[in-house]
């Protein structure tokens, strides 16, 4: 089973690497999807990771789920129509969609948050509410159907467990 993980410059390393390696441990195949096939740099410490595939070459029907890590990469990711198409396709098929921290910006731009109960980093609360989401401030991880959301990097273990539960691979 292939699970996509989005990447762009200024990604949050913890929110990217923890799910990546948990997927490997669970016998899944993580597929790193960037706007282009390139090497991307994390925020703060300069860690780098390459994408496996450019978004335009992804067949979202082949993905069992998708993770949108945070950091400031989501502000860049949401500018790419192909990225937003992948998010909408995965969500529309009812497959697990995991969004953490500032990844909520991608969910807003993909128009998949309206009317849904979710959480994210507090600085995106106004954006989410204005997009029609039911923002929850007092829960670190929220699961609503196929949508799994979390506030920030300290929540990554619980977020990844919840995502794997929704995927049926816990």
C-beta contacts of 154-162 below 8 A and 24+ residues apart: 155/100, 156/14, 156/15, 156/18, 156/19, 156/100, 157/18, 159/19, 159/98, 159/100, 160/18, 160/19, 160/22, 160/98
Q: Is 80 a catalytic residue?
A: no
Smallest CA-to-CA distance from 118 within 105, 126, 130, 128 is with 128
Count other C-beta atoms under 10 Å from residue 10's C-beta: 18
Reduced DSSP (H G I as helix, E B as strand, rest coil) percent helix, strand, coil of the chain, to 5: 40, 25, 35
* Active-site position among 44, 49, 80, 102: 102
Cα(12)–Cα(102) distance, rounded to whole angstroms? 9
Count other C-beta atoms under 10 Å from residue 78's C-beta: 22
Specify the 3-state DSSP secondary structure of 124.
Answer: helix
List residues with catalytic annotation.
Answer: 102
């Amino acid at each position: 089973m292939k699970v996509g993980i989005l990447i762009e410059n200024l990604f949050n390393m913890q929110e990217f690497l923890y799910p990546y390696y948990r997927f490997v441990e669970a016998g899944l195949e993580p597929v790193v999807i960037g706007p282009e096939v390139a090497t991307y740099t994390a925020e703060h410490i300069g860690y780098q990771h390459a994408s496996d595939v450019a978004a335009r070459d992804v067949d979202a029907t082949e993905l069992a789920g998708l993770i949108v890590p945070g950091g400031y990469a989501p502000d860049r990711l949401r500018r790419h129509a192909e990225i937003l198409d992948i998010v909408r396709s995965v969500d529309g098929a009812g497959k697990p969609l995991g969004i953490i921290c500032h990844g909520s910006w991608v969910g807003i731009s993909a128009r998949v948050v309206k009317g849904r109960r979710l959480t994210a980093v507090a600085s995106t609360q106004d954006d989410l509410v204005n997009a029609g989401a039911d923002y929850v401030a007092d829960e670190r991880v929220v699961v609503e159907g196929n949508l799994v959301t979390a506030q920030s990097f300290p929540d990554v273990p619980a977020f990844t467990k919840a995502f794997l539960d929704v995927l049926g691979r816990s």
